[in-house]
Homo-oligomer: A and B are copies of this chain.
Amino acid sequence: MNKKALLLLGCPEVPVQTSIALYLASRLKNAGMDVSVAGTDAALNLLKVSDLEGHYVDMEKMINLDKCIEALAEKRTDFDLCSVFVHNDAGISYLATMHEISNARLFAIIFGNDAESLSGQIDFNCDKIIAKTVHNPNPLMKKIDDKIREVKRWVVSN
């Protein structure tokens, strides 16, 4: 069975979020993972509108953020890898919540103007992918590419 990946998206104030989520979903899918996305209504709507034909994220794999957290907290579901998108304090809270309720390997995708100070607030173990970027996806993309190479080895070896 394929390994399961979750992308967790808060409110989409920062323009790179949706693009990087589509990129990461596409790369994880190509790495052989089964990809779901949990998000706020606005975050999921932007994904649906961007990917009208569902080439990068399957429509039926999009989950309401609160329902996803509830299902994880009640141990009705879990994932092998969870990537939390962080560009504000709410993102840090989601990350801490995932650290508590899930056994998934945890990636923090930290971006926006406050990327560095947000990163400094994280006092538990997780893989950080950090770029102080708002409009330009390239710095995050390159760091994600490095991480994907590692994920591919992990998927194959487990």
Q: Is A138 an interface residue (CB 8 A)?
A: yes
Q: Is A83 an interface residue (CB 8 A)?
A: no
- Cβ contact of A52, chosen from B26, B46, B49, B53, cutoff 8 A: B26
Which residue of the partner chain B has the closest CB to A144?
B49
List which A11-40 residues lie within 8 A (CB) of chain B: 11-20, 22-23, 26-27
Which residue of the partner chain B has the closest CB to A52?
B26
Copies in the complex: 2
B49 touches A20 (CB 8 A): yes
Interface size on A, residues (CB 8 A): 30
Alpha-carbon distance between A52 and B11 when the two chains are bound, in angstroms? 23
Alpha-carbon distance between A52 and B57 when the two chains are bound, in angstroms? 12
- Cβ contact of A26, chosen from B13, B22, B53, B141, cutoff 8 A: B53
A18 touches B15 (CB 8 A): yes
A50 touches B53 (CB 8 A): no
Contacts of A56 in B (CB 8 A): 52-53
Q: Is A42 an interface residue (CB 8 A)?
A: yes
Alpha-carbon distance between A12 and B133 when the two chains are bound, in angstroms? 12
- Cβ contact of A55, chosen from B19, B46, B53, B138, cutoff 8 A: B53
Q: Report 16 cross-chain contacts, Cβ distance below 8 Å, ordered by A residue.
A: A13-B15, A13-B135, A14-B15, A15-B18, A16-B46, A18-B19, A18-B50, A19-B49, A19-B50, A20-B49, A23-B52, A26-B52, A27-B52, A46-B135, A50-B51, A52-B56
**Beyond the given A12-B15, A49-B141, could you list 17 further A-B residue pairs with CB under 8 A, ordered by the A residue number?**
A13-B15, A13-B135, A15-B15, A15-B18, A18-B18, A18-B19, A18-B50, A19-B50, A22-B50, A22-B52, A23-B52, A26-B52, A26-B53, A27-B52, A45-B137, A49-B138, A53-B55
